[in-house]
């Protein structure tokens, strides 16, 4: 049985695809596989980080220690903000850090602080009106 030159060429070239074609195909498939693997790991890491943030947000905040209160009292006294740290039972009188909120009358503020407070109130009003707060 004799083979034609076309049959011999097909037999030596590995069938329908040449060696260069199969190398490029394998390179493409390996690249796609590594891309899928890396994006999967990054997605898993992102979801776990998000879960950790949600779990930490649901934990109750600890009350500030006496040292924290002393440091804050010192900082507030240096900057001239009259804020007291007495314990309040009402939840609406506490800020996010568990510190009491004491309103400061505008007459007790300097003209610069009074103008800054008025600008802050106006900004908050504008943000609430636009739906951003």
Helix, strand or coil for residue 100? strand
Give the distance, in angstroms, between the CA of residue 44 and the centroid of all CA atoms in the same chain: 16
Helix, strand or coil for residue 81? coil
pTM over 0.85: no
Looking at residue 35, what is its pLDDT? 97
Looking at residue 89, what is its pLDDT? 44
What is the domain partition of the chain in residue ranges?
A: 5-58
C-alpha to C-alpha distances, 64 to 15, 17, 25, nearest whole angstrom = 76, 72, 62
- At 38-63, the pLDDT tens digits run 999 999 999 999 998 888 877 766 66
Looking at residue 44, what is its pLDDT? 96
The phi and psi torsions of 17 (rounded to 5 degrees) equal -110, 145
3-state DSSP: the chain helix, strand, coil percent, rounded to 5?
65, 0, 30
Looking at residue 11, what is its pLDDT? 57
Stretches where the chain sits below pLDDT 70 are 1-17, 60-64, 77, 80-99, 106, 133
């Amino acid at each position: 049985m004799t083979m034609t030159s076309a049959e011999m060429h097909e037999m030596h070239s590995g069938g329908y695809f040449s060696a260069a074609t199969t190398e490029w195909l394998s390179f493409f498939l390996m690249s796609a596989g590594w891309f899928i693997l890396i994006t999967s790991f990054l997605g898993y890491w992102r979801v776990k980080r998000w879960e950790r943030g949600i779990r930490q947000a649901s934990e109750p905040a600890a009350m500030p220690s006496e040292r924290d209160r002393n440091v804050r009292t010192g900082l507030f006294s240096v900057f001239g903000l009259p804020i007291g740290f007495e314990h309040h039972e009402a939840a609406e009188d506490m800020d996010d850090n568990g510190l009491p909120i004491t309103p400061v009358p505008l007459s007790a503020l300097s003209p610069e602080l009074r103008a800054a407070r008025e600008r802050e109130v106006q900004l908050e009003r504008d943000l609430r009106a636009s739906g951003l707060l």
